Structures are given as structure tokens and as C-alpha cells.
Copies of this chain bind each other. A is one copy, B any other.
Amino acid sequence: MDIFDRLESEVRSYCRGWPVVFGEARGSHVYDETGRPYLDFFAGAGSLNYGHNHPELKAALLDYLAGDSIVHSLDAHTVAKRDFLETFGEVVLRPRGLDYKVQFPGPAGNNAVEAALKLARKITGRETVVSFTNGFHGMTLGALAVTGNSMKRHGAGVPLNHAATMPFDNYLDGQTPDFLWLRSLLEDSGSGLDRPAAVIVETVQGEGGINVASAAWLRGLSDLCREHDILLIVDDIQMGCGRTGPFFSFEHAGIEPDIVTLSKSISGYGLPLALTLFKRHLDVWEPGEHNGTFRGPNPSFVTGTAALNLFWRDDRLEKETRTKGELVEDALTALAADLPGTGAHVRGRGLARGIGFTEQGVAKAVCAEAFRRGLLMETSGPEDEVVKLLPPLTTSEEDLRRGLDILAESARAAVRTPQPV
């Protein structure tokens, strides 16, 4: 393993909590090179909603590659892209009545966010974008400016501007009415907040600690944006593609964002792909005004198309996710009750779940204990105070239960052991 120490930058992080070398992976399991299995409750931070190497997606991919179909094509037209667009339109957009256009802004989520911000500023001629406490949108300079985490912001090396942070749902513990502050700023010409181009929001903040925005709050935000002619961007990179149940995480709120970003699980196979969606009349881009080399990764289109066909032509997955989510919630609730004095509390929606601890260091210790027991999980939240559960949506109930058992054991072990800070 010392090749990693010797050659790879100190910036690497996940590998520090999982000090093994992974080799194979199938469904909800990953195997290290010695063949030891790990149950994966992290799913590539939400990039593997359908598990690792799903056999039907794999078949489509192998078939595509074996036939010498085109792999790299910039933004030229390809058969694979056409299939993807047709399927996305038919399976995702049309049934939901969404008249969006699709931009392929680059291979990663940050490209989708950067394109969304650029487009919103171009459309409105304004600069400021409102983001929310503990929001996470990416590491490139534009995306970082709307991201809350101070350590990551500090990495910019330049001041991050043109953004204003507002309280996420329930951030102020119910001590103030929703949007009182944002509405006051918008309605007061002396407030010092320049009229924003857009608001960017996650419906459930994954990196921020599995913080859930209620449907009412999302509707309130949408209304406020409409009233003030501000574009609403939902960053659905982590919570989209069914993570919370429906394909888009905002569906249950009955809102229709002006701009939506997708990535992570959109290729379905863990391959890089990102989409920026926007209402048809907002497509004011000049040809080539935003470009990039990997905007048309055909293998990602192929697995993405297969995944849409397999999982989104009916509501089976959505229902299963809801059911499994409740199973997880119940287990976590029971576990929290079983850990008195730790401030354990439960959060989440669908299969984006978390158990938070007020005592510092506990969450990290729980994940370490879980890893020792063959379960992959990660922390989130500004102080790494939340154990985050993002199992593949396709995880069997049996595996879910097994993982939850390991988690419970790990939590009890971690709480027994005094934590070094």
C-alpha cells in the first residue's frame, strides 16, 4: 500500500477510514483484494443507487464497448446520447410534466452546478446567488462559493463572493418563522442584499448532515422565488435518481424548480455523467458558451439509459425505497433510544438517513467500529457529527437489517469506548 503514501497527494480522504485496497464489487458488497467482503452503506456517496456492477447495466455496457461503439465524442451526436435523451424524456420528464431542456455540462456534479450558476446569472444579469447553511455544491470556484463548509472554502485561496448564506429549514430550531429573514432582505431596499439571480438548495443536505427540508419549506421557498423573480435551482446531485423515493427529490413538495442539477447516480453504474436541466425558455446559452471535453461520455449514457429503463418505467423502486427507508428509520430510532447520554437523534428521508450525536467524535468512532465489522459508512455534518446511511436502493431487506445490526453493535461499542478528541 505504500505506493499511495509515496505517490498520492495528502488530499485523499476516504481511504484513510478504510485502509484496505478494494478489488471487486457486486450489488451492495465490495471486496478488498484479499476477498474480504464489506457491506456498502455509502454507495459512492450516492453514486451507486442501483448497487455495484448491476448485471443488466453491465451487460449493456459490455455489449456497447465490445462492438466498438464510440466512447468519446465531445458533444457530437451519437446513438448512445440519442437513446439516453429519448429515454430520459420519455421516462423522467414527460410523466412528470416537466418541459426541461438538458445540458451535458461536463462529467461531474460541479460542472452541473457551475453551468446552473452561470446560466442563472446570464439570464438575470445579477450576480448574487443565495445558498443555505451547510449546503454542499462542489469544489470548483463557482460551486465552492455557495458551499458552506469552512475548511473546504478556505481551500479556495481567494475570497468567495457573489453569494449569500441563508438559514436552511429548521436551522434556527423553530425560533423564527421560515423565510422571515430572507423575505425581509428581499423586500427592504435598504437591506444590503443585492437582488439575487438565484437560490440554490438541496432538499436533503447530504454532506451537511442529512438535514431534511420539509415540503412546506420548499414550497415557501419556491413561492418566495417566484414572487421576487429569482430562479430556483435544486441541486439534486446526491438526492436525485430516487435516493429519497421519487426520481427527483423535490417531487413530493409539488414544486417545479427553474433549474435542476443531476449527477452521481444518473449513469447508474458509477461512471461520470452530469446534467443541468432548465425550463425551456431559460435556454439562453450561446453555442459553445460553456464547453468541455467530457460532456458526452457514451458509456455513461449507455448505463444511464439501461438504468432508466430498468428502474423508472414503473413505481416499484420508489415504493421499495419508501418501505426500506421506514425500516431504516425504525431501526435508527430504536438505536438512538438505546444510546442515552449521547444525544443520538435520527434524520432523513427515503434511503438518505443519518444518526447524529451531540458528543464530539462519536460518529467517527461508530464508523470505525463498523468498518472493523465489515460495514462501510461515512460521517457527515460540519463537525462530522452524523453517521450517514446511503445504502444502494437495491439493497435487500436482509442486507439492510444485517447492516443495521452491525451499526447498532458498532454504536454501542463506540459509546462504551471513551473517544479521544
Cα of A119 to Cα of B154 in the assembled complex, Å = 11
Query: Which chain B residues lie closer than 8 Å to A175 at the CB level?
Result: 176-177, 180
In the complex, whether A56 has a CB less than 8 A from a CB of chain B is no
The interface centre, meaning the residue of A25, A33, A270, A299 with most chain B CB atoms within 10 A of its CB, is A270
Top 7 A-B residue pairs of the complex, sorted by shortest distance between their CB atoms: A121-B157, A72-B270, A190-B382, A165-B192, A141-B142, A176-B176, A11-B285
Are A110 and B69 closer than 8 Å at their CB atoms?
A: no
Selecting from A286-294, A319-327, A328-336, the interface stretch reads: A286-294
The interface centre, meaning the residue of A72, A264, A286, A291 with most chain B CB atoms within 10 A of its CB, is A72
Are B24 and A133 closer than 8 Å at their CB atoms?
A: no
Binary CB contact string for chain A from 136 to 158 against chain B (1 if under 8 A, 0 otherwise): 00111111011111111111111
Cα of A154 to Cα of B75 in the assembled complex, Å = 21
Cα of A4 to Cα of B76 in the assembled complex, Å = 10
Query: Which chain B residues lie closer than 8 Å to A398 at the CB level?
Result: none
Are A147 and B16 closer than 8 Å at their CB atoms?
A: no
In the complex, whether A396 has a CB less than 8 A from a CB of chain B is no
Binary CB contact string for chain A from 273 to 292 against chain B (1 if under 8 A, 0 otherwise): 00010100001111111111
User: Contacting A159 at CB < 8 Å: which of B119, B140, B158, B209?
Assistant: B158
A sample of 27 cross-chain residue pairs with beta-carbon separation below 8 angstroms, ordered by A number, consists of A9-B101, A9-B285, A11-B291, A13-B291, A15-B75, A18-B76, A20-B77, A44-B73, A48-B72, A53-B65, A107-B108, A110-B140, A122-B157, A134-B190, A135-B192, A140-B143, A141-B141, A149-B190, A157-B197, A159-B159, A159-B162, A161-B161, A176-B176, A189-B383, A190-B382, A264-B293, A271-B299
Are A7 and B270 closer than 8 Å at their CB atoms?
A: no
Chain A residues touching B, majority SS: loop
Cα of A16 to Cα of B291 in the assembled complex, Å = 14
In the complex, whether A37 has a CB less than 8 A from a CB of chain B is no
User: Contacting A11 at CB < 8 Å: which of B197, B209, B286?
Assistant: B286
Are A69 and B4 closer than 8 Å at their CB atoms?
A: no
In the complex, whether A394 has a CB less than 8 A from a CB of chain B is no
Are B185 and A165 closer than 8 Å at their CB atoms?
A: yes
